Chain A
Amino acid sequence: MSTAVAQPVDEVKSTPWSGGRSPFDVEYGKLMMWFFLLSDAFTFSTLLISYGALRFSAPTWPAPSLVFQSFPGLIEHGAPLVFVGLMTLILILSSVTMVLAVEAGHRNSKKEVVTWMLFTILGGIMFLSCQAMEWTHLHSEGFWWGHVPTVEVMKEFFKGNPTEAQMTMTSHQFANLFFTITGFHGFHVFSGVIINIIITVNVLLGTYQKRGSYLMVEKIGLYWHFVDLVWVFVFTFFYLV
């Protein structure tokens, strides 16, 4: 042991995994946000996969183009997918304004960050309002957790000629899954809006200007894009497939 070759004392450790620095070159909070989003992706995936497994092993199922063909408050029938298209548009646009906010943060331009964040918050609130209208409309038709419409109403939503037992059972499953999954997603949007408001207040107070970086805006931007991403999948599985 005493004949070990002496290492140069001031050799600088420079490989990514040799300690003292982030191996991925990202800040700790950002990496942890990514891992949280990954775990949340697993949660949403379990919900959506169970929807798929139940739906495609059922003898019949309410047809989305028949259930979702109204524009709550304006049109009752015959406008399939229009309202949900609007919701998707709102959420994608709010993601774009979030990207612009992050980009303004990189340039340390406080005023622009606030502007784009406010637009993002507005988009989130509009989306939640639309979702509430969709829920109210379905509820008025008789759908709710553990509750389905009367047989005459249910018949309108099925293609083909299913039996009453089949209609009742699958409508129950459909209603429970729809409200649970969109509710869980809506809860994420809601908490995202709250956090966005808090961050915007912080931006206005100048916290990040003092801190020297708008990294927090970037991290919450990741969360917001995740929420948008989940909606894209929910929309595909419930309304299209």
Chain B
Amino acid sequence: MKVLYILLGITGIEFFIALYLGPHYGIPSHWINPIYIVLTLFKAFYIVAYFMHLKFEKLDMALAIIVPILFIIGLILVLTNESHYWIDLRL
């Protein structure tokens, strides 16, 4: 199944970055982390669209699922940003 190879490929890239590219070239983690998150979102899209078949359902239903998830993604971004302000407030 083509989607499986895409998923394995993306996971392989993530591992490659984690184990080789990151440590070897010393790329700071605040560049690498967004890359991981973007790759993970790609994987999530492929799983939901093809394995869960959402791509082939009616658009209305797909939106009913996808729009709330966009809110979740927004919350992720807002709170990671917020956490950078918390550093100075904590111990």
Report which A residues bind B (CB closer than 8 A): 16, 23-26, 31, 34, 37-38, 41-42, 45, 48-49, 52-59, 65, 80-81, 85, 88-89, 92-93, 95-96, 98-99, 165-166, 169, 218, 221-222, 225-226, 228-229, 232-233, 236, 240-241
Contacts and interface: CB of A to CB of B under 8 A. Distances in A.
B90 A53 contact: no
B79 A52 contact: yes
Interface residues of B, number: 43
What DSSP secondary structure best describes chain A's contact surface?
Answer: helix
Contacts of B1: 96, 99
Contacts of B68: 38, 42
Interface string B44-83: 1001100111000110110011001100100110011011
Given A57-B83, A57-B86, 14 more contacts: A16-B58, A24-B61, A48-B76, A53-B80, A58-B87, A89-B8, A96-B4, A99-B51, A221-B52, A225-B48, A232-B44, A233-B40, A236-B14, A236-B36
B47 A229 contact: yes
Interface of B: 1, 4, 7-8, 11, 14-15, 18-19, 29, 33, 36-37, 40, 43-44, 47-48, 51-53, 57-58, 60-61, 64-65, 68-69, 72, 75-76, 79-80, 82-87, 89-91
A16 B76 contact: no
Contact of B69 (A41, A48, A241): A41
Contact of A53 (B19, B44, B64, B79): B79
Q: Which one of A25, A52, A228, A240 has the highest number of Cβ atoms from chain B below 10 Å of its Cβ?
A: A240
Nearest to A230: B44
Contacts of A81: 15, 18-19
A58 B19 contact: no
Contacts of B64: 24, 34
A99 B53 CA distance: 10
A25 B86 contact: no
Given A57-B86, A59-B87, A45 B33 contact: no
A25 B14 CA distance: 38
A222 B89 CA distance: 42
A41 B90 CA distance: 29
